[in-house]
Amino acid sequence: NRQTHHKLKKVRMPIEPTKSIWMNGDLVPWDEAKIHVLTHTLHYGTGVFEGIRAYETAQGPAIFRLKEHMDRLINSAKILSIPMPYTSEQLQDAAKAVVRDSGLSSCYIRPLAYYGYGEMGLATSNCVVDVAIACWPWGAYLGDDAATKGVRMKISSWVRHDHNIMPPASKTTGNYANSTLAKMEALNAGYDEAVMLNKEGLVAECSGENIFVCRNGKIMTPPFVSGALEGITQHTVMSIVRDLGHEVSFEALARSDLYTADEMFVVGTAAEVSAVNSVDDRSVLCPGPITTQVAELYADTVRGKNPKYAHWCEEV
């Protein structure tokens, strides 16, 4: 219908090609960075990835929390028993090389480790592991005005992975079929984003972000045991919240906690800090004072303007 078409058109974020992509140790021209149609991970979802941003700073482009992202990529691979052919330090250097080569002052960076061409079937013991890192200009995932206007959330009918089904601690390509189903359900219903519950009915996370609830002067986010990914932006925001003098903790949350929140925001590398204006059509103060404070300080921090966390900005 027209509403759905308009909504889907609104959120389109096409990729803008850059100069090159790092593949298995070499910078390859963008249009030559190709894989075979029988690549193992294309068929079975057996890859791991990261989403990272580089921001323009007074010292030039700097990648935010690069080490933490590459360390998590290594850990994701370990959980899936993927033998990574590169160290975190090598991947960090490769990411810097890609950004330098692009000439961009700010960009989104996508590392991907995957089983390549050569073997087919569920077993991966004889499969080769390939690694690629690309970057391109990319705006705010939930919209440029998401920090102030907020986003409309819907509790998804799709349940977040259980720890013994697909490990949510690993940022696995195949895991995101679950997130895609939830995201598309929300968009098709006219919402901006989905909130995913676990099999016990407790809040896990959104389709691609961690969620924070502010209630009675306390700020809460679901624990990892509930099925949330251990977010790097989540950790950054928790540090910022404490610097602002607020209490923040991991707490199990039910959907009713979202309905009765004083204010709410979601965070992620792609989404940054985005306010929430409603959940299942229950209005939330948007943007609330805490959300506004956090969004402003986060924006300064990732751009190297917060001296306390300047070490998180890795110059390229």
Q: Return averaged pLDDT per consecutive 10 residues of the chain, 316 residues in all.
A: 44 84 98 97 97 96 98 98 97 98 97 95 94 93 83 97 93 97 97 97 97 95 96 98 96 97 96 96 96 96 96 97
Closest C-alpha among 44, 141, 63 to residue 102: 63
Could you tell me if 242 and 250 are in contact, meaning their C-beta atoms sit under 8 angstroms apart? no
How many C-beta atoms lie closer than 10 Å to residue 137's C-beta? 14
Beta bridge partners of 248: 219
**Residue 98 φ/ψ, nearest 5 degrees:** -65, -45
pTM recorded for the entire structure: 0.93
Query: What is the pLDDT, as a whole number, of residue 12?
Result: 61
DSSP 3-state of 248: strand
Do residues 205 and 229 lie in contact, with contact meaning Cβ atoms separated by under 8 Å? yes
The whole-angstrom separation of Cα 315 and Cα 134 is 17
Q: Which residues are catalytic?
A: 171
Cα torsion through 228, 232, 238, 244, rounded to 10: -150
What pLDDT is attached to residue 101? 98
What lies within 8 Å, CB to CB, of 202 at 6+ separation is: 222, 226, 252, 253, 254
